[in-house]
Chain A
Amino acid sequence: MTKRNFYFKLSSIVISGIITAGFILEIFSIKHFSLTYPYNLIVILVIVISLISTRIIFKKTFFFRWFSSLENSLVIIAAFILLNLISAFIPHQQASDGFINKLSLNKIINSYPFIFTYLYLIFTLGLVILRRINGNFSIRNIAFFLNHFGLWIILVGAGFGSADFVRLDMIVKLNNTVWYGYTEKDEIKELPFAIELKEFHMKTFTPKLQIIKVDSNLNNFKVIKQLQLDTIKFIRYKGIRIKTLQYVPYAWFINSDSVVQMKAPGYVNAAYVRIDFGDQVNEGWVSNSSLMQKGKYLPLYNGFYLTLSEPIPKDYISYIKVYTSNQEIFDTIVKVNKPVNVMGWNIYQKDYNKYLGEYSDYSVFEVNKDPWLWFVYSGIIMLAIGAIMLIFVIKY
């Protein structure tokens, strides 16, 4: 047997062994635990020390050569792919299949086989990096270091740091002040600051005229064709010509064919359209629905109707006042993609009262704190630079 094949076999046996051991622990439901600060930091330090001492003490041994070999790296990458494939196919929820639940295949990323594989990957990657460090600062070596060490930092920070990640939902009613949030398990947790919701603003896109195919009732339909109202004045569909004559936002129907405009919760968007079938012409209102008003549909032919789509949010913003425990008070805005940082906590615009839309009477914020973020981001920067350098170091 060649050295290469022997390395492959050895790695395959060892990795299959630890994965099997992991599944056995799952079968016997050995309790999981999470390492929060400072324990995760201690474990990381222990890993780093053991990696460095392995490099120094066991450098010339068979173990070191095998563990830091390309063959071992290949097998662990393949194993990592296989475990991720499980989580890519099996939905992350309680399965009807007892076998899946027993082996934790539906929550593989929190299971022992995954954690063991992850640790093996961390050790392999660590030794590979240490083996390559030799005082030679060629571009190739720098690229190698940035790519491998960057990935190592990301994996370690994201994995061991995850236990310190705190995320809470804060539900703040208009003109109310809240200083606590709810965890995923609905436990209340106090925060070092309070948020008062002053205003909530929302804009929506102009709704679309849509042709729908109705199955059994009007709530059960399939969209066949959608058209932006503000750019397209008329459409043809299977010999039918449809023209929008009038568009009325904030519409209230007094009766089936007269409409008034009023900005108040419960409005719908309405359009007056002409449908030309060729031999006959039909005119009428179409609209979306709201809590107060039913949607309006016009029949095209058997099972096909014309209506307006529900408006899609373009922008929603919370105007808030923040009170911190340091006696600071300031006004700010929170919107999607524009989180606000207060005392190390990030505040995100998450949700609002969907039934009321722009008249929402509350705003939901996600507040989270990730003490390991800078660690992971430094890995991301390294890996990004390394990735760009990769183009310049291709060797044949």
Chain B
Amino acid sequence: MSSLFTYLVILSILILFFSSIFSLKKEKIKYLNWMMFLFFFLWVTWFVLLWKNIERLPIRTLGETRMWYSFLTPLIAWGLTIKYKWKWIIPYSSLISIIFLIINLITPENFDKELLPALQSIWFIPHVLVYMFAYAMFGVATLISIRQLWFSKNTDDKKYIESTKILIYVGFSFLTLGLLFGAIWAKEAWGHYWTWDPKEIWAMITWFAYLLYIHYSRLIQSSKTNAYIIILSFIILLICWFGVNYLPIANQSIHTY
């Protein structure tokens, strides 16, 4: 499985590279669509093969969640390319996707079958998948905010404000479901829906950070502050996702995967 993964990553990097080139030229958009179809089917095939091989859906380890992130981010960017005719979004998100894929190559996965009893639950798949989808939405929103703040001449372009808003609202909807599914699952597995576990605390802070964006953007529509809140929230999200393992509080967590 590991050597197959290496080929998949090389192929994905090539696809994303060509997608980025095609997305820059309006007349080549047809090829971009084909590339994205290919990317989608390649990864779905990989997930199915891997699932069969390890007898569980690959969503347990950090590396496995990174795979989903690399898979979802370019697809969301593709949707935005079609909607807003943006040339830059595919290259930006491809870069993030490629970075995550390379991290996965550097830290190889074991792809083992082991699934602790606490993880054997019907909540496992929905809990992680809705979170991954939310993270991918927020990631693309962050890229747009970075573009808006530092790499754009027209900071007040309505497209930036509108697209980030859609992404965050949809992402927040999924984030809320992920958090609630997690709470119900925790009640079944650990006996209580909220135990102030470090991962839970960070998940709650992430949730409130995006809640802050939603309320602030209702008060002031077009403001650079909105973009800053999005970027800051994403930093908090990254701490919740990976960073929490490196904090002094990490040894008190039962969420160590």
- Chain A residues with CB under 8 A of B117: 313-316, 335-337
Instruction: Pick from A315, A368, A376, A390: contact of B169, CB below 8 A.
Output: A390
Chain B residues with a Cβ closer than 8 Å to the other chain, count: 54
B104 to chain A, nearest CB (A): 16
Contact B192 A167 (CB under 8 A): yes
Contact B204 A390 (CB under 8 A): no
Contact A92 B202 (CB under 8 A): no
Tell me if B193 is interfacial: C-beta within 8 Å of chain A: yes
Which applies to chain B's interface (DSSP): helix, strand, loop or mixed?
A: helix
Contact A366 B191 (CB under 8 A): yes
Tell me if A87 is interfacial: C-beta within 8 Å of chain B: yes
- Interface residue ranges of A339-396 to B (CB < 8 Å): 339, 346, 348, 350, 366, 368, 370, 373, 376-377, 380, 383-384, 387-388, 390-391, 394, 396
Tell me if B177 is interfacial: C-beta within 8 Å of chain A: yes
- Interface residue ranges of B117-148 to A (CB < 8 Å): 117-118, 120-121
Tell me if B24 is interfacial: C-beta within 8 Å of chain A: no
Bits for A64-86, please: 1 = Cβ < 8 Å to B, else 0. 00000011011001101100110
Which applies to chain A's interface (DSSP): helix, strand, loop or mixed?
A: mixed
With A88-B198, A228-B113, A336-B118 known as contacts, the answer to whether A390 contacts B172 (CB < 8 A) is yes
| Cα separation A92 to B252 with both chains bound (whole Å) | 8
- Chain B residues with CB under 8 A of A315: 117, 120
Tell me if A24 is interfacial: C-beta within 8 Å of chain B: no
With A74-B215, A387-B173, A394-B166 known as contacts, the answer to whether A158 contacts B194 (CB < 8 A) is yes
Instruction: Pick from B176, B196, B218: contact of A87, CB below 8 A.
Output: B196
- Chain B residues with CB under 8 A of A312: 114, 116
| Cα separation A368 to B202 with both chains bound (whole Å) | 26
| Cα separation A370 to B193 with both chains bound (whole Å) | 11
- Chain A residues with CB under 8 A of B173: 387-388, 390-391
B192 to chain A, nearest CB (A): 7
Tell me if A90 is interfacial: C-beta within 8 Å of chain B: yes
A138 to chain B, nearest CB (A): 16
With A84-B201, A84-B205, A387-B177 known as contacts, the answer to whether A228 contacts B165 (CB < 8 A) is no
- Interface residue ranges of B178-213 to A (CB < 8 Å): 180, 183-184, 187-194, 196, 198, 201-202, 204-205, 208-209, 211-212
Of all A-B residue pairs in the complex, the 5 with the closest CB atoms, nearest first, are A336-B117, A387-B176, A337-B121, A390-B173, A88-B201
